């Protein structure tokens, strides 16, 4: 069994200073986290949202809550409702449930 979360989708904010990762845990549940990068700091991306403890049964549920919590996600064109329904509800190979 894997010991680490697997990122399913990563979305960057319009200003490229934040991103959201939708991930699957080793126990087949899903979650999301918000990250920030400071261009003047060479340390890379670091978590800022404290959302990663929330547990969801599907990627669609995780993405829906992320959109509720993080307003700029609602302005991302690639997140049409139909793409969420078809791409984020699929179980991933290796899921046992």
Q: Per-residue pLDDT tens for 11-36?
A: 999 998 999 999 999 999 999 999 99
**What's the confidence (pLDDT) of residue 90?**
46
For 29, the domain range is: 6-87
Q: Edge-to-edge strands of the sheet including 6-12?
A: 6-12, 18-24, 30-36, 46-47
Number of domains in the chain: 1
Residue 1 pLDDT grade (very low, low, confident, very high; cuts 50, 70, 90): low
Q: Which residue has the tokens 């599907």?
A: 58
pLDDT tens profile 47-57: 888 899 999 99
Sign of the Cα pseudo-torsion (20, 24, 25, 26, in order): negative
What does pTM read for this prediction? 0.76
**Within-domain flag for 97:** no
**Within-domain flag for 1:** no
**Within-domain flag for 93:** no
* CA separation for the pair 42, 37 (Å, rounded): 9
Among candidate residues 88, 82, 86, 97, the one with its CA nearest the CA of residue 62 = 88
**Within-domain flag for 95:** no
């Amino acid at each position: 069994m894997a010991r680490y979360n697997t990122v399913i989708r990563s979305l960057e904010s319009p200003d490229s200073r934040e991103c959201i990762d939708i991930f699957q845990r080793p126990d087949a549940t899903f979650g999301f986290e918000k990250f920030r990068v400071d261009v003047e700091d060479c340390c890379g991306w670091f978590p800022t949202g404290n959302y990663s403890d929330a547990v969801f049964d599907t990627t669609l549920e995780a993405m829906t809550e992320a959109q509720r919590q993080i307003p700029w996600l609602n302005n991302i064109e690639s997140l049409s409702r139909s793409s969420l329904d078809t791409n984020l509800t699929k179980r991933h190979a290796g899921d046992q449930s």
